Amino acid sequence: MSPRRPIFVLVLGGLILAGLGLQDWPVDGGRAMTFAGHALDDYGLALTAEGPTRLTLLPLPRLTLGRVRLTAGPDGPTLAEGGHLTIDLDPLGLLGGRAELGGLRLDEARLSPDASAWGGPLAQLAAWTRSGATLRPRWITVSGARIAEGDEARDIDIDLAWPFWSASAEAHASLTWRGVPTRIVLTHLRPAEIAQGLRSPFTASVTWPDGSLAAEGSAGPPPDGAAWPALAGRARFESRSLPRTLAWLGRDAPLAALAGAFSLEGRFETADRSVSWPSLRVGLGGDVLDGAGAATLGAGAVPRLSIQATLAADTVDLAPLMGDLNTLFASEPTPLALAPLTRGDLDLRLSAAEGRAGSVQVQDLAASILVRDAAVEVAVNRARLQDGTLKGRVTLASGADPAETEVRMQGTLDRVDLGSLLADFGSGRWMSGPLQGQFFLEGSAHDSAGLLAHLGGRATLAVEGGVISGLDLAELVHRNGVVPAGALARRNGRTAFERAAVTLRFSDGIGEFSESGLRGPSVGANLQGRVSLPNRRIEARGDLALRAAADASRGLVFEVSGPWDAPTAQVVPPGEAILPDPFKVPASLGWSGNARAYAP
C-alpha cells in the first residue's frame, strides 16, 4: 500500500473530526443549564435559560444558551436577561468531570440599572480571590447590551481580560451614553491585590467627542462604610463646553452655566464621596490658574456638589464676567433667576497679578466667589486700578418667588487716575485728576428690565484738584457758549478746578442729580436733572458762571440730553426753566444766565 494512503486517511479523518468539532450541536437545555449553573455558583450567580442550547467542541469547548436570565443567587435581583450567553469551558476541568469557566460572552442582553444588585456577586468574587483560588474566567465579553430599556446607555461593548499568567487585568469598553459615543479603558489593575485589601496601580481614560478624562495612580478597596474605592494619583480632565458635558453626565455644578472651555489637572486623592487636589491647575477659557481645592458630592437622591478652591494666576481675563454684567443694561430683558447658577456650593478664593477686561486693567487682584443655595456673592476685596484702589461686592439672592432675584451692589474707588482710566475706555484724557467714588444700589425683579425699573440707592463720584483738557470754561462764558473754531481739535484749552462731584440718588430706576457741580479758581458750575436707567437717557441742566468779582454777573445755562452713551450739550436760551418730558423738573430748579458760581 502506498505510504500516501495513510496520510490521506489521517488528513481526511482530521477534517471530518474538525468539521464535527466546529459544528454546533443541540443539547438538552435543562441538563446544560444545570451543568453551567454549577460553574456560576462559585461567583454568586444563578442561571436560567428559555432558548435553544448548543454545544461546540472546537477550538475550545463552549456552551451557548439562548434567552438567559442571570440573577444574584437563586432568589436575588435580576442582573441580566434576554440575551445569549456563551460559556467557554476549561478542557482540563471537563476531563475531570467539572464545569470550570474559561470565559464568558453575553450578547444583546438587558442589564440591571440597580448598581447595588451587583454587590453580592462582586463581594463573592472578592472572597473567592482572597481565598487564593487561581481558577477564574480569563476573559469576559459583553456585546450589544443596554441598561434597562436603553434610554441612557445602549450599544454597550465590554472586553475584560485577566490572563492566568498575569496579575494585571485590563478592560476596554465602548457605549452610547445619553446619545453620546463614549470609550473607556482601564489597564494595569491588579484585582487580587484590591481583594486582599492592598493598593493596586491603575491607568484609566474616558473619551467622548467634547472632552476626555485620564488618570493614573493607585487604587484601594473602599474604606469601611464607603461605597467608592480609595484612589490617589494624577488626573487630567478637559471639556470643550463644561455646561454641555455636565448636562450629558446628568450632574450640576455651581456657576457652570457661565463657563465654556474648561480643563483641570493635578494630584488628587479620594475619600468616599469627596476628592481633594493638593496641587491643581485649572484652565478656564484662555486663563490658567494654580492652587489647591476639594470637592464633595452630597448624599440623597439628588446629591449636591460642594467645591472649595484657592487659585492664583498671573493674568485673568475678566471680559466674560463684565459681559454678563453688561447684560443687565441690554435692551432685551434677561432673566435673573439664580437656579441655573446655584446648583451646587462654591467657595472660591482668587488672586491674580493682573486682571483685564478689554483695554481696562487692574493689578494685585484679590477676589472671592461664594455660591450657596439660592444665593451668590462676588467680592473684589482688593484691586489696584490706575494707581488707585477698587473694592466692590455684588450679592444676589432669590426671594420668595424663585424666578425673582434681589440684587445688591456696592463699591468704592480711591485716588484712581481719571485721565488714564478714560484713556483705557477709549474716551481720551479730556479730564484728569484723582477720582474718588462710592455706590450702593439695590433692587429686585424677574429680569434685567424690571431690575433697572426698580433700582434704588446712591452713587457719588468726585475729583479733587483736576483739569479739563481741550476746553476753557471761562472763555466759554465770555463767548456766551460759543466754542472757538478748531479749539476742541487743537485741545489747547484748559480748565483747572478744585473739585468736581456728581451725586445720584436712585429711586425706581431714576437717578436724580444732587449736590453735583464744579468749583474752580475762575468758574463754578452746578448740575440738576435725572438719569433714566430703563430708558438709558440723561436729561440735565446746569449753570456755568465766572467766579471773579469783576465778572460775577457773567454766566450761562446749558443742557445735557440724549442717550447716556452719546449725550449732547448746548446753551439754553434765556427764559426756559423746565426740562422736557419725560424728565419733569419743577420751575424753581431753573437758573438764570447770571446765576452765581456754585461751590459744592
> Under a CB-based contact definition with an 8 Å cutoff, are residues 375 and 338 in contact?
yes
The CA-atom distances, in angstroms, between 43 and each of 85, 170, 487 are 16, 20, 94
Q: What is the pLDDT of residue 393?
A: 94
- Position 589 confidence tier, pLDDT thresholds 50, 70, 90: very low
Name, of 18-22, 384-388, 485-489, the range with top average pLDDT.
384-388
The CA-atom distances, in angstroms, between 52 and each of 78, 322, 400, 421 are 21, 68, 63, 83
pLDDT at residue 13 is higher than 50: no
pLDDT at residue 3 is higher than 60: no
pLDDT, mean of residues 115-137: 74
- Position 485 confidence tier, pLDDT thresholds 50, 70, 90: low
Looking at every residue in the chain, the average pLDDT score rounds to 82
pLDDT, mean of residues 75-93: 78
Long-range contacts of 405-409 (CB under 8 A, 24+ apart): 405/336, 405/337, 405/338, 405/444, 405/445, 405/446, 405/451, 406/442, 406/443, 406/444, 407/336, 407/441, 407/442, 407/443, 407/444, 407/451, 408/440, 408/441, 408/442, 409/439, 409/440, 409/441, 409/442, 409/457
Q: What is the pLDDT of residue 481?
A: 73
Extract the C-alpha cell encoding 191.
484585582
Extract the C-alpha cell encoding 148.
434597562
Percent of the chain whose predicted confidence (pLDDT) is above 90: 40
- Position 235 confidence tier, pLDDT thresholds 50, 70, 90: very high
Q: What is the pLDDT of residue 377?
A: 94
Q: By CB neighbour count within 10 A (0-12 exposed, 13-18 middle, 19+ buried), where does 522 fall?
A: middle
pLDDT digit string (tens) for 183-216? 999 999 998 888 888 899 999 999 999 999 999 9
pTM exceeds 0.75 for this model: yes
Q: What is the pLDDT of residue 390?
A: 94
Helix (H, G, I), strand (E, B) or coil at 396: strand
pLDDT at residue 14 is higher than 50: no
Instruction: Find cell 487692574 and name the residue.
Output: 362
Q: What is the pLDDT of residue 126?
A: 75
Q: What is the pLDDT of residue 496?
A: 92
The CA-atom distances, in angstroms, between 26 and each of 21, 30, 63, 420, 583 are 13, 12, 10, 90, 95
Q: What is the pLDDT of residue 105?
A: 87
pLDDT, mean of residues 213-222: 92
Q: By CB neighbour count within 10 A (0-12 exposed, 13-18 middle, 19+ buried), where does 139 fall?
A: middle
Q: What is the pLDDT of residue 256?
A: 85
pLDDT at residue 259 is higher than 60: yes
pLDDT at residue 388 is higher than 90: yes
pLDDT digit string (tens) for 486-516? 655 556 678 999 999 999 999 999 999 988 9
Q: What is the number of other CB atoms lying within 10 angstroms of the CB of residue 443? A: 21
Q: DSSP string covering 445-497, please? A: ESBHHHHHHH-EEEEEEEEEEEEEES--HHHHHHTTTPPPTTHHHHT--EEEE
Extract the C-alpha cell encoding 100.
470550570
Q: Cα–Cα distance between 63 and 171 in angstroms, integer? A: 24
At 289, phi and psi to the nearest 5? -125, 140
Q: What is the pLDDT of residue 365?
A: 94
**Residue of 257, 241, 237, 245 lying closest to 180 (CA atoms):** 245
Contacts of 446 (CB under 8 A, 6+ apart): 335, 336, 337, 401, 403, 404, 405
Higher pLDDT, 103 or 128: 103
Least confident window among 42-46, 197-201, 555-559, 593-597? 593-597
Higher pLDDT, 452 or 235: 235
Q: By CB neighbour count within 10 A (0-12 exposed, 13-18 middle, 19+ buried), where does 471 fall?
A: middle
CA 380 to chain centre: 20
DSSP 346: E
pLDDT, mean of residues 240-252: 90
Percent of the chain whose predicted confidence (pLDDT) is above 70: 81
Higher pLDDT, 236 or 332: 236
The CA-atom distances, in angstroms, between 314 and each of 186, 232, 362 are 36, 29, 12
Extract the C-alpha cell encoding 496.
483747572
Name, of 49-58, 279-288, 466-475, the range with top average pLDDT.
279-288
pLDDT at residue 591 is higher than 50: no
pLDDT, mean of residues 109-133: 78
Q: What is the largest CA-CA distance in the chain?
A: 148
Helix (H, G, I), strand (E, B) or coil at 253: coil
Extract the C-alpha cell encoding 451.
431690575
Q: What is the pLDDT of residue 59?
A: 60
pLDDT at residue 49 is higher than 90: no
pLDDT, mean of residues 268-274: 90
The CA-atom distances, in angstroms, between 417 and each of 420, 428, 439, 445 are 6, 13, 18, 35
Least confident window among 156-165, 308-317, 546-555? 546-555
pLDDT, mean of residues 342-365: 91
> Under a CB-based contact definition with an 8 Å cutoff, are residues 204 and 219 in contact?
no
Q: What is the pLDDT of residue 127?
A: 75
